[in-house]
């Protein structure tokens, strides 16, 4: 099975939709089932064999840095990527961290993406499916029919072989991006400087037929608002996630 020894954890955003909880607390430190959201992420990465996680900071950075200090000695090792001066968005933040991430493959993981595992643990399943000869990027996708806290029209449709297509303007598609991707540094070849979204690189991979998806075997929880957080909390209590 492919190994991913490093990961990028995107923890720099403002978490505006989670206000008022995020007025004084960065969203990655909001608690779900007694643990900070980012701890759910880091523990899952460690269980998948990730040794080092790069965590970017911008909003209330001292709190995130202090939390990483409290985790000292626990896997994975964490390295702070400082974006205090300029918030670089998902793509720019990952590009800045490429020297620490290495050639890959590596995960890029939203700090608020949580789920209850199904029969196949998601991150090891992504590693088993990874094929650099066919893929520039592999996205974890959640079926909208079983997801909590997500009420939009979906992000992608997926062919039986995993090839992805984006939702059209008036379409409803069955899958939402679940906040985790797997790629290599070459995905960023020719990427712009400064802030930019990973969507830019995904669209380039789509145009080459090299963007793939993997269905999450579990229940994704889109923890975007205080109401969605309460819904996820109830799900954790019910399912023992």
Assign residue 219 the CATH number of its domain: 3.90.550.10
- 240, pLDDT greater than 60: no
**What integer pLDDT is reported at residue 241 of this predicted model?**
47
Indicate the pLDDT class of residue 237, thresholds 50, 70 and 90: low
**What integer pLDDT is reported at residue 154 of this predicted model?**
79
Domain range enclosing 19: 6-239
Most confident of 16-25, 41-50, 164-173: 41-50
DSSP, res 59: S
Q: Are 158 and 215 in contact (CB under 8 A)?
A: yes
More confident residue, 54 or 111: 54
Q: Evaluate whether residue 187 is within a structural domain.
A: yes
Rounded to whole angstroms, the Cα distance separating 227 from 95 reads 33
Q: Evaluate whether residue 50 is within a structural domain.
A: yes
**What integer pLDDT is reported at residue 239 of this predicted model?**
56
Q: Evaluate whether residue 35 is within a structural domain.
A: yes
Among the residue ranges 12-21, 44-53, 125-134, the one predicted with the least confidence is 12-21
Q: Minimal CA–CA distance to 126: which of 141, 144, 145?
A: 141
Number of domains in the chain: 1
Q: Evaluate whether residue 202 is within a structural domain.
A: yes
Average pLDDT in the chain: 91
- For the residues 207-236, what does the mean pLDDT come to? 87
How many CA atoms lie within 13 Å of 65's alpha carbon, on the beta-carbon side? Answer: 11
Q: Evaluate whether residue 20 is within a structural domain.
A: yes
Q: Evaluate whether residue 1 is within a structural domain.
A: no
Q: Evaluate whether residue 183 is within a structural domain.
A: yes
């Amino acid at each position: 099975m492919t190994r991913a020894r490093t990961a990028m954890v995107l923890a720099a955003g403002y978490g505006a939709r989670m206000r008022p909880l995020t007025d004084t607390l960065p969203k990655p430190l909001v608690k779900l089932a007694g643990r900070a959201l980012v701890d759910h992420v880091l523990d899952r990465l460690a269980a998948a064999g990730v040794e080092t996680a790069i965590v970017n900071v911008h909003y209330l950075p001292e709190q995130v840095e202090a939390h990483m200090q409290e985790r000292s000695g626990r896997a994975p090792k964490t390295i702070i990527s400082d974006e205090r001066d300029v918030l670089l968005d998902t793509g720019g933040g990952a590009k800045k961290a490429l020297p620490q991430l290495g050639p890959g493959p590596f995960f890029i993981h939203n700090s608020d993406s949580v789920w209850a595992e199904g029969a196949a643990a998601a991150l090891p399943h992504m590693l088993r499916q990874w094929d650099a000869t066919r893929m520039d990027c592999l996205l974890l996708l959640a079926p909208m029919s079983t997801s909590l806290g997500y009420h939009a029209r979906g992000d992608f449709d997926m062919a039986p072989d995993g090839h992805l297509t984006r939702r059209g303007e008036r379409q409803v598609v069955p899958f939402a991006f679940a906040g985790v991707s797997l790629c290599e540094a070459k995905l960023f070849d020719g990427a712009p400087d400064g802030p930019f979204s990973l969507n830019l690189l995904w669209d380039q991979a789509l145009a080459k037929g090299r963007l793939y998806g993997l269905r999450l075997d579990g229940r994704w929880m889109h923890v975007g608002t205080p109401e969605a957080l309460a819904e996820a909390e109830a799900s954790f209590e019910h399912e023992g996630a």
